[in-house]
Amino acid sequence: MTKKKLEESASIVVECCPEETITFDAVHEILKDICSFVGVQGYIIKDEDTATINLEDSEKTVPYAMLVSQAFELAKELSQVSCLGEGDTLLLDCADLKVLCVKVNDVTVSIFMEKNVDHTKILNKLLSYTERLQF
Amino acid sequence: MFPRGYSSKSIKLILDLKGKPVSSEECVMAIQNTLNELRNICPQISTAYIFKPDKTVLAQDKDANKSDVASTVDKLCMLIKHARVGGGLEFFRVDSLGYCATVTRLGSVYFAMVHSRALDDKVLCGITRGIVPIVLKLVELIQPELMYATPQIFEDFPSEKAQMDSKERSSSEVVGSEKNVDCTSFSESVVSQLTVENLNGISRLVGSQDNVRVDPAIINQWVTLGGQKEIIKVEVEEIQSGKKIVCNFKPIKDVAFYGKAVIQLSEKIQTTLQTKRGAAVLVRPIIK
């Protein structure tokens, strides 16, 4: 399967903050690299001030954003009622979609991929980058 | 033989099957006992419960806080609805430092568990893919309506419904001549969860492939709730994919299905909805 070039994909900056933190920018750069993986459909990256959505199919922006928002809300609920401590990694496995959500400092990253993609490779890649950047 | 540590109560219930009919309460108790025993065998498990996508908690372990489980299930069901965009939620996992929570779809229900990360992956897999599905399958054989929800009327999520409406409209599929039907749902909140059965025998040959047959007990409920208004069609929705069709309906003739919360669908409709025999669908009555 040929992967669409991400340059052609929809890239929407929901809200821009004039002073973007280094963390956000650094993670954003890593995600651009991860997006070149076959089967990765795009990502949503968000911190307190800024959110960037980069998805192959721009029509799915809203439902995907709502899905990850609900997933984080659920993780928060689970951590409160089960005294889990704040969840730092979330995996959503749907029939046709896989979503990996990771919290790096205050930045939340959601990576959307096809069902058959090995999410552990992406997670390891993301964590190795972030460790190198000494977050 | 049954493995060591297996609940004697669970085994007794299973062995009693030939002797007398097992009630739904006993089935729920068997599931609860299984969850309790799982916690005894694996102390790493702190909470375990099983719920349906309509927010019903089927069973939970004896130490689980009911209100906490209810509030979590509420949010989980919202997530399940949002996950339709990806074809339906199959598995969800939250990892934190010491603990993790997993939610696994097992047929028409979901199994949620909170456990420490010390729990071995093989044991986890054995529980979620072996023990619990087998128990649920047994219960399904004994009390199918328990697994697929007895005909219940429940309210859709109002805020979420408005959000999903546009998407559902675009993805809805209408069979045959039913396009652009000018009819309204007599109550957006009246929904029955029914189990799919094949439309076969004479019904399949005589009736149209675009018609469905509904349990007469459910039709009576709709008529009562609708104030004796005439129900002209039904809307059938596949739970996981959200696909819908609007079609004509008739009561099921086979008395064996009376009161069983069943809907008989032709092969054509099953293909359109991407569903099959034994799966759960949501059915809404539509009046003039």
Sequence-ordered list of residues with C-beta below 8 angstroms from that of B288, at least 6 positions apart, any chain = B183, B229, B230, B232
Nearest CA in chain B to A88: B96
- For chain B, the residues whose C-beta falls within 8 A of a C-beta of chain A are 46-47, 65, 68, 71-72, 75-76, 78-79, 82-83, 85-101, 114, 163, 167, 240-241
Rounded to the nearest integer, the mean pLDDT of chain B is: 75
What is the enclosing helix (H) or strand (E) of B227? none
Domain extent listing, chain A: 7-128
In words, the CATH class of domain A7-128 is alpha beta
Sequence-ordered list of residues with C-beta below 8 angstroms from that of B65, at least 6 positions apart, any chain = A81
Chain A residues touching residue B242 (CB < 8 angstroms): none
Q: Do B82 and A93 touch (CB under 8 A)?
A: no
Chain B residues touching residue A82 (CB < 8 angstroms): 46-47, 68, 99, 101, 114
CB of A102 within 8 Å of a chain B CB? The answer is no
Q: Do A84 and B99 touch (CB under 8 A)?
A: yes
**CA-wise closest residue to B42 among B128, B146, B137, B139:** B128
Alpha carbon distance A43, A100 (integer Å): 9
Alpha carbon distance B99, A6 (integer Å): 36
The DSSP code sequence of chain A is -PPPPGGGSEEEEEE--SS--HHHHHHHHHHHHHTTSTTEEEEEEE-SS-EEEEESSGGGHHHHHHHHHHHHHHHHHHHHHTT-----EEEEEESS-EEEEEEETTEEEEEEE-TTS-HHHHHHHHHHHHHHTT-
Q: Which one has a higher pLDDT value, B159 or B286?
A: B286
pLDDT, position B175: 37
Position B250 pLDDT exceeds 90: no
pLDDT in tens, B93-132: 998 877 889 999 988 889 999 988 888 888 888 888 888 8
Series of mean pLDDT values for 10-residue runs along chain A (135 residues) = 43 43 72 85 87 85 91 86 74 92 85 91 81 52
Fold that domain B158-287 belongs to in CATH: Barwin-like endoglucanases (2.40.40)
Q: Which one has a higher pLDDT value, B228 or B282?
A: B282
pLDDT, position A100: 93
In words, the CATH class of domain B8-147 is alpha beta
pLDDT, position A114: 92
CB-CB neighbours of A23 under 10 Å: 16
CB of A101 within 8 Å of a chain B CB? The answer is no
Q: Which of A66, A74, A79 sits opposite B96 (nearest CB)?
A: A79
ipTM of the complex model: 0.79
Nearest CA in chain A to B102: A91
Domain extent listing, chain B: 8-147, 158-287
Per-residue pLDDT, averaged over B62-75, amounts to 88
